[in-house]
Chains A and B, each alone.
Chain A
Amino acid sequence: MRLLTHNMLSSNIKGVSNGFPLRIEVEKVVEKQVDLNADFLRNMFPKIEWKAFVDAAKTIGYAELLEEVDSFALESEEFLNKFHHALLELHLEEGALVCPETGRRFPVSKGIPNMLLHEDEV
């Protein structure tokens, strides 16, 4: 699972008012190279919750992103490379996503998070 997916997914347990961002527990991270698409990154940038993204990247071992960035950064090739790498090339392969309000763990196995809810959570 890429950090881009993590940046969109939230916990939807009954009664939880803000299930985003899910905390990450890491057992294994894998890297898969993909071609950089600068237009895609520029379009995506305003839709990203930046703080959640930077924190998630740090948690899975990538600390090269700054906490505060503005859209001028998108002119820099160095920035685009780092943004691309963290957003699309790092995958949480094994571990868990944890609901920030309830602490409920959603296991991640072979890169697939299991977000199925129990009957009493719907």
Chain B
Amino acid sequence: MKPAPFNYAKPSSVDEAISLLDGDATLLAGGQSLVATLNMRLSAPDLLVDINGLEELSGISVDGGTVRIGALTRHRELERSEVIAAQAPLIAEAVPLIAHPAIRNRGTVGGSIAFADPAAELPACLLALDGAVEIAGSGGRRKVGAGEFFRGLYDTALEDGELITAIEVPAAAGNQRFAVEEVARRHGDYGMAGVMASVTVNGETVEAARLVYIAAGGTPMLAEGAGAALAGNAIDEASIGAAQSALEGDLDPFDDMNSTAATKLHLARVMTERALKRIAGA
């Protein structure tokens, strides 16, 4: 488990990083996903571009109704941030479910979004919150909505030579309710199933529900049918049941080593009920 030989560069600005990405280069952020693939020789880039230490990529800020999280922000900073707890409670609830503290100390938001593991929490949160990804490349800067960013299994809208500078999510509004429910085989493992739920209510009635599932397809999966089943209704046995039924059409889970697609769908339904009941109780 030694990586193939590679070259290493540590740029001092985002622009320099972008210029280095020209060629067979890979960005190194927290290294928690990348270093394992290097050591297993699943990837062998010529050049590692280490973006750790780039000030412009770090930090959490709120501007108007938008929370901006720099790409190099560590999972652990999210977990401890009062801004995140207050303005993005869905993320605050999800982050402790990412791996273990040692990994959260290193792993970054940008790395997690770029890696786009369909079982990862942050991509699902980004989609549930209908956030956006800020991207920089030699052609300039652009912003891509979460719905367009995640394209397929480990496939995103990032083009060669681009990097993620930040993500943005709307700050939580008073009529929004959030819940994360996840089942993993052990504490800290990637979930076998899970839902990141963002529900906008008007009194008892659901105005809109964005339920995003992990490990339920090639990307984080927004359950539109389940959302529609809830919209206009109170959260009760009937609407929960309707949302659960809609998941068959919304999700596209596949068999993996831990469970079959059928089990994942079952678990997604269980997570749905738990999340919605919690939201209704709050």
Chain A bound to chain B = no
Spell out A's residues near B (CB within 8 Å).
none
